[in-house]
Amino acid sequence: MKFDLSGRWLPIVRRLPVSSPVADVALTFDDGPTEETTPALLDLLAAHQATATFFLSGVRVAARPDLVGAMVAAGHAVYAHGWEHIRLDRVAPDQLIADMARCEEILSRFRPTPVPYLIRLPYAGGYRNPRVHATLRRLWPQGQIAHWSGHFDDPGLAAGCATAGQVEAAAPERVRQALDRPDLPGTVLLMHELAYDIDSPVRAEVSLTLTRHILAELSQRGLRCVPMQPHAHPPAFSRWLLR
Ligand SMILES: [Zn+2]
Protein backbone atom coordinates (compact mmCIF):
# COMPACT_ATOMS: atom_id res chain seq x y z
CA MET A 1 0.00 0.00 0.00
CA LYS A 2 1.35 3.41 -0.91
CA PHE A 3 0.96 6.44 1.28
CA ASP A 4 0.97 9.90 -0.19
CA LEU A 5 2.61 12.19 2.34
CA SER A 6 3.07 15.08 -0.06
CA GLY A 7 0.15 16.99 1.45
CA ARG A 8 1.54 16.66 4.96
CA TRP A 9 5.04 18.02 4.63
CA LEU A 10 5.74 21.65 5.28
CA PRO A 11 8.35 23.28 3.08
CA ILE A 12 11.86 23.42 4.55
CA VAL A 13 13.55 26.67 3.60
CA ARG A 14 17.28 27.19 3.99
CA ARG A 15 17.93 30.21 1.81
CA LEU A 16 16.22 33.44 0.88
CA PRO A 17 13.73 33.15 -1.98
CA VAL A 18 15.46 33.24 -5.36
CA SER A 19 13.51 36.41 -6.14
CA SER A 20 15.41 38.26 -3.37
CA PRO A 21 17.91 40.95 -4.31
CA VAL A 22 21.21 39.29 -5.05
CA ALA A 23 23.06 41.21 -2.33
CA ASP A 24 20.85 40.01 0.52
CA VAL A 25 21.57 37.54 3.29
CA ALA A 26 19.49 36.66 6.36
CA LEU A 27 21.05 36.67 9.82
CA THR A 28 18.99 34.72 12.34
CA PHE A 29 19.34 34.43 16.12
CA ASP A 30 17.92 31.58 18.19
CA ASP A 31 17.31 31.25 21.95
CA GLY A 32 16.83 34.91 22.96
CA PRO A 33 15.93 37.34 24.20
CA THR A 34 18.41 37.89 27.02
CA GLU A 35 19.45 41.06 28.77
CA GLU A 36 23.09 40.06 28.31
CA THR A 37 22.85 39.98 24.51
CA THR A 38 19.72 41.55 23.04
CA PRO A 39 20.24 45.27 23.76
CA ALA A 40 23.83 45.12 22.52
CA LEU A 41 22.85 43.09 19.46
CA LEU A 42 20.19 45.64 18.59
CA ASP A 43 22.81 48.38 18.81
CA LEU A 44 25.18 46.45 16.55
CA LEU A 45 22.47 45.75 13.99
CA ALA A 46 21.35 49.39 13.99
CA ALA A 47 24.91 50.59 13.47
CA HIS A 48 25.06 48.49 10.27
CA GLN A 49 21.48 49.26 9.13
CA ALA A 50 20.96 45.51 9.36
CA THR A 51 17.69 43.77 10.11
CA ALA A 52 17.59 40.25 11.50
CA THR A 53 15.21 37.47 12.42
CA PHE A 54 14.91 36.31 16.03
CA PHE A 55 13.54 32.86 16.90
CA LEU A 56 12.64 33.40 20.53
CA SER A 57 12.43 31.08 23.51
CA GLY A 58 9.15 31.46 25.39
CA VAL A 59 10.53 31.21 28.92
CA ARG A 60 13.05 33.94 28.11
CA VAL A 61 10.39 36.06 26.41
CA ALA A 62 8.24 35.80 29.52
CA ALA A 63 11.15 37.07 31.62
CA ARG A 64 11.87 40.08 29.38
CA PRO A 65 8.94 40.82 27.04
CA ASP A 66 10.17 44.40 26.74
CA LEU A 67 13.12 43.13 24.69
CA VAL A 68 10.68 41.68 22.15
CA GLY A 69 9.08 45.11 21.90
CA ALA A 70 12.50 46.63 21.22
CA MET A 71 13.19 44.07 18.47
CA VAL A 72 9.89 44.71 16.74
CA ALA A 73 10.22 48.48 17.09
CA ALA A 74 13.60 48.28 15.36
CA GLY A 75 12.09 46.40 12.40
CA HIS A 76 13.35 42.91 13.17
CA ALA A 77 11.23 39.80 12.60
CA VAL A 78 10.32 37.63 15.59
CA TYR A 79 9.03 34.06 15.62
CA ALA A 80 8.55 31.31 18.20
CA HIS A 81 11.37 28.87 19.02
CA GLY A 82 9.21 26.93 21.48
CA TRP A 83 8.24 27.73 25.05
CA GLU A 84 10.63 25.46 26.84
CA HIS A 85 13.74 24.62 24.91
CA ILE A 86 12.95 20.92 24.51
CA ARG A 87 12.96 18.36 21.69
CA LEU A 88 9.43 18.77 20.40
CA ASP A 89 9.68 15.62 18.29
CA ARG A 90 9.80 13.66 21.56
CA VAL A 91 6.54 14.94 23.01
CA ALA A 92 2.92 14.24 22.16
CA PRO A 93 1.46 16.22 19.25
CA ASP A 94 -0.81 18.24 21.52
CA GLN A 95 2.16 19.22 23.69
CA LEU A 96 4.16 20.24 20.64
CA ILE A 97 1.35 22.52 19.52
CA ALA A 98 0.79 23.95 23.01
CA ASP A 99 4.51 24.67 23.45
CA MET A 100 4.82 26.57 20.18
CA ALA A 101 1.46 28.33 20.49
CA ARG A 102 2.23 29.53 24.02
CA CYS A 103 5.33 31.33 22.78
CA GLU A 104 3.60 32.85 19.77
CA GLU A 105 0.76 34.07 22.02
CA ILE A 106 3.16 36.49 23.72
CA LEU A 107 4.83 37.50 20.46
CA SER A 108 1.42 38.29 18.96
CA ARG A 109 1.04 41.09 21.51
CA PHE A 110 3.85 42.89 19.70
CA ARG A 111 2.99 42.23 16.03
CA PRO A 112 0.33 40.27 14.10
CA THR A 113 1.08 36.55 13.78
CA PRO A 114 2.84 36.24 10.40
CA VAL A 115 1.36 34.12 7.61
CA PRO A 116 3.14 32.05 6.39
CA TYR A 117 4.74 31.37 9.78
CA LEU A 118 8.45 30.58 9.90
CA ILE A 119 9.09 27.74 12.36
CA ARG A 120 12.44 26.97 13.95
CA LEU A 121 12.34 23.97 16.26
CA PRO A 122 14.63 23.70 19.31
CA TYR A 123 17.61 21.51 18.31
CA ALA A 124 15.92 21.36 14.86
CA GLY A 125 14.22 18.37 16.53
CA GLY A 126 11.93 16.68 14.05
CA TYR A 127 12.50 19.06 11.19
CA ARG A 128 12.51 16.09 8.82
CA ASN A 129 9.95 14.06 10.78
CA PRO A 130 6.60 13.71 8.94
CA ARG A 131 4.68 13.46 12.21
CA VAL A 132 6.15 16.78 13.38
CA HIS A 133 5.32 18.38 10.05
CA ALA A 134 1.75 17.11 10.16
CA THR A 135 1.36 18.36 13.73
CA LEU A 136 2.76 21.80 12.97
CA ARG A 137 0.48 22.01 9.96
CA ARG A 138 -2.49 21.85 12.34
CA LEU A 139 -1.18 24.95 14.12
CA TRP A 140 0.15 26.86 11.10
CA PRO A 141 -1.32 25.41 7.89
CA GLN A 142 0.97 27.62 5.82
CA GLY A 143 4.00 27.16 8.06
CA GLN A 144 7.50 26.77 6.68
CA ILE A 145 10.39 25.15 8.53
CA ALA A 146 13.06 27.84 8.83
CA HIS A 147 16.30 25.95 8.49
CA TRP A 148 19.64 27.54 7.64
CA SER A 149 22.46 27.16 5.14
CA GLY A 150 25.34 28.70 7.05
CA HIS A 151 26.50 28.84 10.66
CA PHE A 152 29.52 29.69 12.79
CA ASP A 153 29.25 26.97 15.44
CA ASP A 154 28.97 29.70 18.03
CA PRO A 155 28.00 27.19 20.77
CA GLY A 156 31.19 25.28 20.00
CA LEU A 157 33.25 28.45 20.24
CA ALA A 158 31.65 29.29 23.59
CA ALA A 159 32.35 25.80 24.89
CA GLY A 160 36.00 26.08 23.87
CA CYS A 161 36.73 29.52 25.30
CA ALA A 162 37.21 30.67 28.88
CA THR A 163 37.96 34.36 28.35
CA ALA A 164 36.73 37.20 26.17
CA GLY A 165 40.25 37.52 24.83
CA GLN A 166 40.14 33.98 23.46
CA VAL A 167 36.82 34.72 21.78
CA GLU A 168 38.17 37.88 20.20
CA ALA A 169 41.26 36.05 18.96
CA ALA A 170 39.27 33.27 17.31
CA ALA A 171 36.33 35.22 15.93
CA PRO A 172 37.72 36.92 12.78
CA GLU A 173 39.04 33.75 11.15
CA ARG A 174 35.98 31.73 12.11
CA VAL A 175 33.70 34.33 10.53
CA ARG A 176 35.82 34.68 7.40
CA GLN A 177 35.90 30.93 6.85
CA ALA A 178 32.15 30.56 7.27
CA LEU A 179 31.42 33.42 4.87
CA ASP A 180 34.00 32.50 2.29
CA ARG A 181 31.68 30.63 -0.06
CA PRO A 182 30.47 31.33 -3.57
CA ASP A 183 26.80 30.95 -2.67
CA LEU A 184 26.93 33.43 0.20
CA PRO A 185 24.26 35.77 -1.26
CA GLY A 186 20.87 34.36 -0.27
CA THR A 187 22.28 32.36 2.63
CA VAL A 188 20.38 32.04 5.90
CA LEU A 189 22.92 32.30 8.73
CA LEU A 190 22.38 30.78 12.17
CA MET A 191 23.51 32.41 15.41
CA HIS A 192 22.41 32.13 19.05
CA GLU A 193 21.84 34.42 22.00
CA LEU A 194 23.27 32.68 25.08
CA ALA A 195 23.00 29.28 23.41
CA TYR A 196 21.21 26.74 25.57
CA ASP A 197 23.08 23.80 27.10
CA ILE A 198 26.54 25.33 26.79
CA ASP A 199 28.55 25.60 29.98
CA SER A 200 30.74 28.63 29.31
CA PRO A 201 31.44 31.95 31.01
CA VAL A 202 31.64 33.70 27.62
CA ARG A 203 28.35 32.84 25.93
CA ALA A 204 27.36 36.50 25.67
CA GLU A 205 30.79 37.55 24.41
CA VAL A 206 30.56 34.90 21.70
CA SER A 207 27.15 36.15 20.52
CA LEU A 208 28.28 39.76 20.44
CA THR A 209 31.84 39.38 19.17
CA LEU A 210 30.89 37.03 16.34
CA THR A 211 27.99 39.25 15.33
CA ARG A 212 30.25 42.30 15.26
CA HIS A 213 32.64 40.51 12.91
CA ILE A 214 29.83 39.03 10.81
CA LEU A 215 28.26 42.43 10.22
CA ALA A 216 31.61 44.01 9.36
CA GLU A 217 32.47 41.19 6.92
CA LEU A 218 29.07 41.31 5.25
CA SER A 219 29.32 45.09 4.84
CA GLN A 220 32.78 44.71 3.37
CA ARG A 221 31.45 42.18 0.87
CA GLY A 222 28.62 44.52 -0.12
CA LEU A 223 25.93 42.33 1.39
CA ARG A 224 22.85 43.52 3.23
CA CYS A 225 21.15 41.77 6.18
CA VAL A 226 17.41 41.40 5.68
CA PRO A 227 14.75 39.48 7.61
CA MET A 228 14.27 35.86 6.60
CA GLN A 229 11.42 35.59 4.11
CA PRO A 230 8.91 32.79 3.63
CA HIS A 231 9.01 31.38 0.12
CA ALA A 232 6.02 32.35 -2.02
CA HIS A 233 6.45 29.20 -4.09
CA PRO A 234 8.20 26.72 -1.83
CA PRO A 235 10.26 24.20 -3.76
CA ALA A 236 8.36 20.96 -4.25
CA PHE A 237 9.84 17.98 -2.44
CA SER A 238 12.31 20.30 -0.75
CA ARG A 239 12.85 17.63 1.89
CA TRP A 240 14.74 15.55 -0.65
CA LEU A 241 17.16 18.33 -1.42
CA LEU A 242 18.59 18.50 2.06
CA ARG A 243 21.97 17.41 3.18
ZN1 LIG B 1 17.67 26.81 20.27
Residue pLDDT, tens place only, 25-47: 999 999 999 999 999 999 999 99
Q: Which whole-number Å values give the CA distances from 7 to 54, 236, 237, in the listed order?
A: 28, 11, 10
The total domain count for the chain is 1
Query: Which of the residues in the chain have pLDDT under 70?
Result: 1-7, 234-243
**Within a domain: 231:** no
pLDDT at residue 1, rounded to an integer: 41
pLDDT at residue 233, rounded to an integer: 72
Q: What is the DSSP letter of 161?
A: -
**SS3 label, residue 192:** strand
pLDDT at residue 21, rounded to an integer: 87
pLDDT at residue 238, rounded to an integer: 53
pLDDT at residue 154, rounded to an integer: 97
Q: Which domain CATH number covers 210?
A: 3.20.20.370
**Within a domain: 59:** yes
- How far, in Å, is the centroid of ligand 1 from the Cα of 195? 7
Give me the domain span that covers residue 45. 12-226
**Within a domain: 6:** no
- How far, in Å, is the centroid of ligand 1 from the Cα of 199? 15
How far is it, in rounded angstroms, from Cα 230 to Cα 120? Answer: 12
- How far, in Å, is the centroid of ligand 1 from the Cα of 196? 6
pLDDT at residue 232, rounded to an integer: 86
- How far, in Å, is the centroid of ligand 1 from the Cα of 173? 24
**Within a domain: 4:** no
- How far, in Å, is the centroid of ligand 1 from the Cα of 54? 11
